[in-house]
Structure 1
Amino acid sequence: MFTWLNGSLARAILFPLITIVVISVSALVYYVNKSSYELVLESETRAAGSQADAIRSALGLFIADSTATAKSLASRDDVIASFKDKTDGNTRILAKLAKSNPNLWGGIAFDTSGMAIAGSTRDGATLTGLDISGRDYVRAVLEGKSEFVSEVFRAKSGQDLIFAISVPVYDEQRNLLGGVALLGGWEGFTKEFIDPVVIGHEGYAFILDSDGRLIHHPKDESLILKNQRNTVFAQEALRRQNGVVFYDWQGDSKVMVFRTDPHTGWVICMSAYEEDLAAGAVRQGYTLAGVGAVSVLIIIALIVMLLRRLVVAPVTMGMDVSAKMAEGDLRSRTESDSANELGRLMRSLGRMTRSLKDIVARVKGAAELVAAGSEELAAAAEQMSEGSTEQAASVEQIAASMEEMTANITQNTHRVKQTEDLAVQTAQNATEGGEAVRQTVEAMRNIADRTSIIEEIARQTNLLALNAAIEAARAGEHGKGFAVVAAEVRKLAERSGVAASEISELTGNSLHIAEKAGQMLETMVTDIDRNKELVQEVNVASQQQNDAAQQISESIQHLDTVVQKNASLSEEVSATSQELSGQAVQLQETMEFFKLDVDHSPGSNGRKQIRAETKKSPKAEPKALPYREVNEEEFERF
């Protein structure tokens, strides 16, 4: 199916459109038909309900009139007197009443035992002497009901359908004497109010009593007085009392509208086939279906005509032009006066064809120039390859020289580093020597201080020895031993003083020399520190020079690699230019596939114009590119 639709643009457009139109019109017809069907059915149902209401009202009036007549009869004095005297006066009264009232079949008076003491039909037949004690309308009155309406039943004297309306008869002391029952002619009421009713074309009315018996049916008299409680419609009517029911009857759908009389419980039913009630809507549906079919055909015809004129024809023209273009024929002209999208598409296709003609003509001319330029490019590439080879040899020599210079700089850097280490160690040793001299000077000063103390002690000892000698002299003989000791002590004190003086003199001379040596060492430490700093600066400069030399060496190595690659690429460019020349010739042969008008042929004027445009293009000056590491994979191989 999908393949069949794709086989034709008309089918691909028409099929969905026609499908949508058919579905839309069908849906509209279905909706209108269904709405009309429901509206007509609802209208007919309401009309049937109105008729049922009218029949119910008529039945109510009929029952009420007969009840009023019976009550009026039961209250008459002559009727009461006839009950008391047991005369046949009531028979005459009832016969006269039955003849004068067409709605009555007859009348009957009964005593408290249920025996008919008087009675007559409208035909004059007597009902006196009948035992009617078993009738429900007799029992109801004798049991005390003020009035009672019986169900429909057949008279014993014939096949007439009648119903009884009975009321009690009391004397002046409200003693029950018996009752009076008026027998209504049911067939007269149904002929006047039920039989003329027609619903739709075949519908009719019927009545069910409170027990579900069919008390009137205009179509089938054999159903009368038969119980229909087992049927769906009867069950619904008795359960709901008023309303509408849809039910299936012998395979067909029927509608029944029913109303219940509140006095008797009888159900007035209006029944008809659903199709009969909605026959007008069905005919209208057929008409709408016909109109819809004609409308669909007209719409389809208009769509087909417009589609062929506005879509299929321009698309077919575009297909022909595209087919010729696919064969290389660019001589077709495409024009359209239509203002719609397809018209603009055809005009755009024409412009595209003209542009393609110009492009093909220019490409043919450019192919000739490419062929000539590729030969020149091959010669230039060969020269460039030779120059690159020579440049590569020069760069290799420079690289070797730079490597030797870098090795020398590296060796000098190591030596400067060793010198720096020695200068640092010498500065450290000088600093430690200066510190030792400073400590020596400090120790000598301390010794000088201690020597002065010894001299003071010797002097004090000499004084004490002198005092001891004086005291020994004063003591006389007793102090001679002490005088000898004092003399020895004095000698020792003098010797100690002389030794302390000599030590003090030596210490002073040594202190002067040590201080001078300390000053010289301080000057020497300062010079050594300065020398260390200079050596460190030389070391840093050597390292920087070494780093720069290594960077230059690496750059030259990269340059050597680039030059080598350039030489290789120059050879490849030379080979590529030769291949490009062959491709240009093949391009010329390929472009011969296109057929152009005479105006678009690539003549000498076209080639001259292309050459002129090529020569007019500004020649770019070569500029040095910043160095970066070259990866061989970045170059394109031909």
Structure 2
Amino acid sequence: MSSSSTSIARRVSMVGVTAIAAILLGTSAILSVLLTRVANDRTIAWVGDKTQTLIDALDAMDEVAKTMVKQSYGAFRQEFGPVFQLDEATGDLRDWGPKLNGNTTQVDKFAGTTGGAASVFAAKDGDFVRITSSLKTASGERSIGQMLGKDHPAFASMMQGQPFAGRSVLNGKAFMAYYDPIKNEAGKVIGILAIALDMEGFQKAMEKMAKDSHFFETGGTYVVAVGKDGKGGRFLAHPTAKGKPVSELSPDIEPFLVELGQTSDGYMSRTPNVLGASGSSYVAVLRKNDAAGYWVVSQVSSSEALASHWRTMVPFWIMLGGATAALGYGLFWMMRNWVARPLRDLRDAVQAIASGDLTKSVDNARNDEIGDLIRDTESMRQRLADTIGTVRHSVDSIGTASTEIATGNQDLSHRTEQTASNLQIAASSMEELTSTVRQTADSARTANQLVASANSAAARGGQVVGQVVTTMDEINNSSRKINDIIGVIDGIAFQTNILALNAAVEAARAGEQGRGFAVVAGEVRSLAQRSAEAAKEIKALIGASVDRVEAGSRLVQDAGHSMEDIVNSVQRVSDIIAEISAAATEQSDGIGQVNQSVVQLDQMTQQNAALVEESAAAAESLKEQAQRLVEAVSVFRVNAHHTSAPSPAPRAAQRSPAAPAPIKSTPVKAAASTPRKPTTASAADSPAPRPAPAAKPAHDGDWETF
């Protein structure tokens, strides 16, 4: 190697060490992430179990408190009569007779006996109002007149007539309350009996359990009483904020509790510092008691939870770094002794070949890949020496062959030019034929359009005639109906005449008294006769009109049949013209494709002529390159046994007779760039010849490619 900076041993060692380090680093990183995740999951599971234990204990205390308040309610209920009545007009609630509104005897007795609280509610406007209570405000007044509220947890149960037991906060103190609906004789809920037992002892026990629940150095537990969806919370157990609203401690805590309550596993990796401990990163684990309406949240420091895990991982990373360094040094030593030194010897042998000395041989006894490379290099030197000797004797033959190639290319160029001229004439004729056929197709399409217009007009005429036939039929029907009406009028006139005769007979019988009536009957008879005669005349006229309308209807129907025949004939002519137009279009397309194929063949012939000329120039250049090849290989030194006899020069190709002069013709326009595929094979189907590179001048000093 020329210098240590370019040593292959160093470069391969660096690449190998880097690759090994990357693999070990990636594997260790993945392993560390997995172990960290396992350690974190184990910690979260441990915290979750302790939190669940705490909430189970709180649930047990709630159940005990509910049992106690239910038992205490029995004594309170006995203070009232079995039946209650409510005067909805005055709002007075009664049991034995006296109204309970403002009566504190029973509630004060219960409060004095149990130390709890009692209240009575009466139904009012779809809600319940407190009418008596043992509770007092801060000023010493009775807590009377307050509404229960439809958002109260017990409201839904009361409306359904079911008792309710649950936690409640009265005057800032925790109670276990029991609400029992009061019903009248009809079974309608008209009030509520409510008691509450002080849970101060349970509250202190809960606070002590939360306070004793420690996690590492700064982790702990707090209890929150929450509303719907985690909003409106209040701390039940907290080191510094007991009984305070959550939002009062920090505005960030309530949104955090809402988000924490919506998680599926009750876990969040980043939480605010609710307990106020030192540190910056905390996780939270939540367990709920939806029935009691409180949440137990455990807060754990992330750094404290993973401290023991990282104490184990640091020595592992130190050992990993030491192993990587040892592997790198060992790889560098092996590469320098097993690869770099043998390659240095091989470099010296290759430099001798590069300087033109093919007489020095190289050899090596190694049986690995480097030994194979050295032996292959020796084989290359021997083959190169044989090749150089052969090239020296073959250059003359190349010169003779290039001369014959140039002569043949000139003859081929002359014939190709004549072929191109003939193809131009054929292309011109095909273009004229294409124009004529295209004009014929256009005329056929125009005729087809005219016939289509005539067909459309005939069809519209047929429709009009059909409408006329329909109208004549309607007129005929109307005339028949008028004739029927005239018949009815004639019948009426006939009946009127008979009635007039009867009236005249009766008038004659009446004598002098019926003479006036006889005159009227005579006038009526005369009028009936004239009406009958007029009806007969109208009937005759209508009959004649009906006959003429029927004759006209038959003529119009005959005209409709004739028009249908005309429409059918025009349609057949239109179909024939359409077939002629389609055939002319297909013929025009076929002639156009043939024209495109001829033009493409002409273009390829012209390209072939250009390629032949380039081939002739390349043959001349080949001759010059052969001379320069002799000069180039003369710098190599080879042994005498590598020299071989020259191969015989190829026989000169016989020159073909000169082709007749090309016929001049008018050049045709180039075809479309994307011709349609013809139905028969054409010259366009064959691959286009590759253009030969332009010949370089003889003084370029480089090899030419042909």
TM-score, normalised via structure 1 length: 0.44
Rg larger for? 1
TM-score, normalised via structure 2 length: 0.40
**Structure (1 or 2) with the greater helix fraction:** 1
